[in-house]
Amino acid sequence: IGEETIAIIIQQENNSMEELNENAKLIAAAPELLEVLLETDKDLCILWAQMLELEEANPRAEGLSDLIKSWRDRNKKAINKALN
């Protein structure tokens, strides 16, 4: 094995270790991230209900509840992915 091949192998091992470290950080943060997603879902639910009321009172607000619902749907996808 030549020096160039050894250098490539060492670089690949370093990259693998860096990736493992980054994955470990994500795993360690997962419970807190899930908690934030769950809290955000509650907030979006409240906001969505308020926007429905606002849309009834003010036609210029039309479509805001749909936008918020799309945010909530996206958030729920992430929650479901974390729980399944």
User: Which residues have a Cβ under 8 Å from the Cβ of 65 and sit 6 or more positions away?
Assistant: 48, 51, 52, 55
Q: What is the pLDDT of residues 29-56, one digit of tens each?
A: 999 999 999 999 999 999 999 999 999 9
Which of 17 and 76 is assigned the larger pLDDT? 76
Q: How much is the pLDDT for 40?
A: 97
On the question of pLDDT at 8 being above 90, the answer is no
The pTM score is 0.72
Rg of the chain over all Cα atoms, to the nearest angstrom = 23
Question: In the chain, what is the greatest distance between 2 CA atoms, to the nearest angstrom?
Answer: 76
Q: How far apart are alpha carbons 50 and 56 in whole angstroms?
A: 10
Mean pLDDT of the 59-66 span: 96
Q: How far apart are alpha carbons 20 and 28 in whole angstroms?
A: 12
